[in-house]
Amino acid sequence: MEALTRTAFYFPHQTARYEGKVRDVYTIANKYMVMVATDRISAFDVVLPKGITYKGQVLNQIASSFLDLTSDIVPNWKIASPDPMVTIGYKCQGLPIEMIVRGYLTGSSWRSYQAGAREICGIPIPDGMREHQKFDHPIITPTTKAEIGNHDEDISKAEIIARGIMSKENYEKLEKITLALYQRGCEVAASRGLILVDTKYEFGLKDGEIYLIDEIHTPDSSRYFYLDTYQDYFDKGLQQRQLSKEFVREWLMENGFQGKDGQQVPEITDLRVDIISKRYIELYENITGKQFVKEPYDNIIERIESNVNNMLARLEF
């Protein structure tokens, strides 16, 4: 199985390189960012030992599309996507929290609810709810942004303001933007026969203005259900058909791994890689309404380098 799991470029005017869980990020002249979506995959804040074929291309192309579809709501960091696995944009000063918005009680929120929790990030959750049940209104459950190797931590709006992480005014501005982005994502998903269940957004500042950064509405940052079977499956207490990375987490949990100390990642066979790859492609085709075109892995490093250099030559320094 082919996969791009690491890059080591040195682009013109490059001033820094950062390796995230999934993306390799290159800073250019302290003004621009070259973000390469690799085929790495993470779960429970751990990067798994094998890459997933075509995953980087899927993530980059979905995120690039949604950045364009939401630019009327909030400006974003994207300038261009010169390669199927690359986006180039403005360097922003990242805000230290992630805005997670949930429309349904599922995933980690359901696991916490099952364990007895009746509030998430200071937001009360009523008794008697069932797995995958829709909230009366979407809720925002922010987390702190962890360094590599650490876990993101839930935090409430009150804590964010009390600790001086953000002012009340700026945080409430983020809340409005987050809900507007989620609403747009839900509308696009519904037009494709899907439900955008939950997702996360990251923001930064450029010239004092809030910008949307990183990825948006991808299977790594979002969860989708199929619209046509949601209600019937919910009424019957069946597991939802879903398109997200949750199926990877569930497979890991079934094999005794949740990212805790002492736990070992189960073997990821070529068959497992192929299954995950096909699920990512399935989501791409469902959410975009387009057929996925598999870009060859031959000379991939040379291709990315050439495409990025050609784009950088057109930018102002």
Q: What is the pLDDT, as a whole number, of residue 149? A: 46
pTM recorded for the entire structure? 0.90
Q: What is the pLDDT, as a whole number, of residue 249? A: 86
Domain residue limits, the chain: 14-92+270-312, 93-244
3-state secondary structure of 94: strand
Residues of the chain with pLDDT under 50: 148-149
3-state secondary structure of 78: strand
Asked if 22 and 59 count as a contact pair (C-beta separation under 8 A), the reply is yes
3-state secondary structure of 146: coil
Asked if 54 and 39 count as a contact pair (C-beta separation under 8 A), the reply is yes
Q: What is the pLDDT, as a whole number, of residue 147? A: 56
Q: What is the pLDDT, as a whole number, of residue 39? A: 97
Q: What is the CATH number of domain 14-92+270-312?
A: 3.30.200.20
Q: What is the pLDDT, as a whole number, of residue 153? A: 85
User: What's the CA angle centered on 31, arms 26 and 33, to 5 degrees?
Assistant: 30
CATH architecture classification, 93-244: 2-Layer Sandwich (3.30)
- For 26-49, the pLDDT digits (tens) are 999 999 999 999 999 998 888 999
d(CA 120, CA 219): 22
10 Å CB burial of residue 296 (0-12, 13-18, 19+) is exposed
DSSP 161: H
d(CA 194, CA 185): 10
**Which helix (H) or strand (E) covers residue 90, if one does?**
strand 86-90
CA distances 139 to 24, 212, 244, 280, 297, Å, are 31, 19, 19, 26, 41
10 Å CB burial of residue 108 (0-12, 13-18, 19+) is middle
Give me 180's structure tokens: 């507007």
Q: What is the pLDDT, as a whole number, of residue 246? A: 78
How close are the terminal C-alpha atoms of the chain, in Å? Answer: 40
Q: Determine phi and psi for 155, rounding to 5 degrees.
A: -150, 145
